[in-house]
Amino acid sequence: MTPSNHLATQVDEAAEKAPNGTPDSLRDHTTVLESRDLVVRYGTTEAVKGITLEIPEKMVTAIIGPSGCGKSTFLRTLNRMNDFVPSVSISGHVFYRGTDLYSRDVDPVEARRRIGMVFQKPNPFPKSIFRNVSWGPAINGVPKRQLPDLVEDSLRKAALWDEVKDRLHDSALGLSGGQQQRLCIARSLAMEPEILLMDEPCSALDPVSTGKIEDLMFELKKRYTMVIVTHNMQQAARVSDYTAFLEAGVLVEFDDTDQLFTNPSVRRTEEYVTGRFG
C-alpha cells in the first residue's frame, strides 16, 4: 500500500466517524480558518490523521480530546508554529480566508502576525511589562510614539491594566502566573491579530486566575476569532460556541457546544464528555 493510499483510507475513516463534520448552524457564519485533509507527522508517527475543520469568525471554537490526541499539534499548524519542530512534515491544507498557509508564496511571519498564539505555560520575555507588550509591534515597525497608547489599550483588553499601570517598567517576571498569562494575551493583542489561538491557556493556573482568563475570553470573542485547546471539558462547555472532539489524530465530532455536550451524535464523544474515558 502506498503512503497516499494509506492517507486516503485514514481520511475516509475520519469521514465515517464524523457525520457532523460541519454542523448546520455553521452555515450562518463566515469561515476564517479551515483545515482540509490535514495530516501532520513527526518523523514516521502520524499525530494528525486528516482533519477537515472550519473555524467560524468571531466565535470561540474549543478543541477537546484525551492527551496525545493531536489537539495541540493541530492548533500549531494553524499559524505555522510547527515549522520549528525539526522532524515535522505536513500535508493537506490550511486556508486562511482562502489562502493556503502552506503554499510557497505565504510568509509564515506575516501569518503569525495575523494569527496570534497564547501558550500553555505563561512565557513572558525577561523584560519589563511595557516592553513585553510593545516588543511585537516595535519590531514590526509601529512608530515609537504610538507604543504607549497601544500598550495601554492592549493591557486594558487583557484586563490587566489596573493591576500593572503603576509598574509598567518593572520586570514581567515579578507578576503572578495568572497575570503573566494575561500579559501574554495582551502581547498577542498588541499585534492586532484577527485570530487568537490558545493552547491550554489555563492549565498552569489556579482556579481564580482561570476564572479571570475565561471572563476575558467572553469579552474578547466580540472582536476576535478564538480557537482554544483544552483538556478541561467544563471550560470548553463554559467558554466555547463550537466544540471539536479529537481522538487519536482524527476529528470524531464537531458541533455546537451545547449540542455536543448534551446530545452528541457519536457514541465515542458521549463516552468522553460523560467522563467514561480520557
Q: Cβ of 77: how many Cβ atoms within 10 Å?
A: 24
Residue in 129, 57, 47, 134 with CA at minimum distance from that of residue 82 = 47
Q: Which helix (H) or strand (E) holds 238?
A: helix 233-239
What is the per-residue binding string for other proteins in 156-185, x denoting contact by CB under 8 A? -----------------x----------x-
User: Least distance to other proteins from the beta carbon of 116, Å?
Assistant: 6
The contacts of residue 207 (CB under 8 Å, 6+ apart) are none
Name the segment binding other proteins (CB under 8 A); options: 95-103, 118-126, 200-208, 209-217.
Answer: 118-126
- Does residue 44 interact with other proteins by CB under 8 A? no
Give CA–CA dist 254/246, Å, rounded: 9
User: Least distance to other proteins from the beta carbon of 183, Å?
Assistant: 10
Give CA–CA dist 70/67, Å, rounded: 8
Name the segment binding other proteins (CB under 8 A); options: 25-33, 41-49, 78-86, 261-269.
Answer: 78-86
Q: How many degrees, rounded to 5, is the angle at CA 150 between CA 118 and CA 196?
A: 25
User: Least distance to other proteins from the beta carbon of 190, Å?
Assistant: 8
Task: Identify the residue among 79, 209, 210, 235 touching other proteins (CB under 8 A).
Answer: 79
Name the segment binding other proteins (CB under 8 A); options: 31-39, 131-139, 157-165, 205-213.
Answer: 131-139
Give CA–CA dist 150/114, Å, rounded: 16
Name the segment binding other proteins (CB under 8 A); options: 21-29, 122-130, 204-212, 259-267.
Answer: 122-130
Window 201 to 240, contacts with other proteins (CB under 8 A)? none
Burial tier of 179 (Cβ tally within 10 Å: 0-12, 13-18, 19+): buried
Task: Identify the residue among 119, 242, 245, 272 touching other proteins (CB under 8 A).
Answer: 119
Edge-to-edge strand order for the sheet containing 31-42? 45-56, 31-42, 88-96, 99-100
| Ordered DSSP codes for 92-114 | EEEEETTEETTSTT--HHHHHHH
Name the segment binding other proteins (CB under 8 A); options: 91-99, 188-196, 232-240, 259-267.
Answer: 188-196
- Does residue 190 interact with other proteins by CB under 8 A? yes
C-alpha cell at 9: 483510507
Nearer Cβ to other proteins, position 112 or 212?
A: 112
Q: Under the rule (CB under 8 A), what is the footprint of other proteins? A: 79, 81, 84, 86, 109-110, 112-113, 116-119, 121, 123-127, 135-136, 139-140, 173, 184, 187-188, 190-191
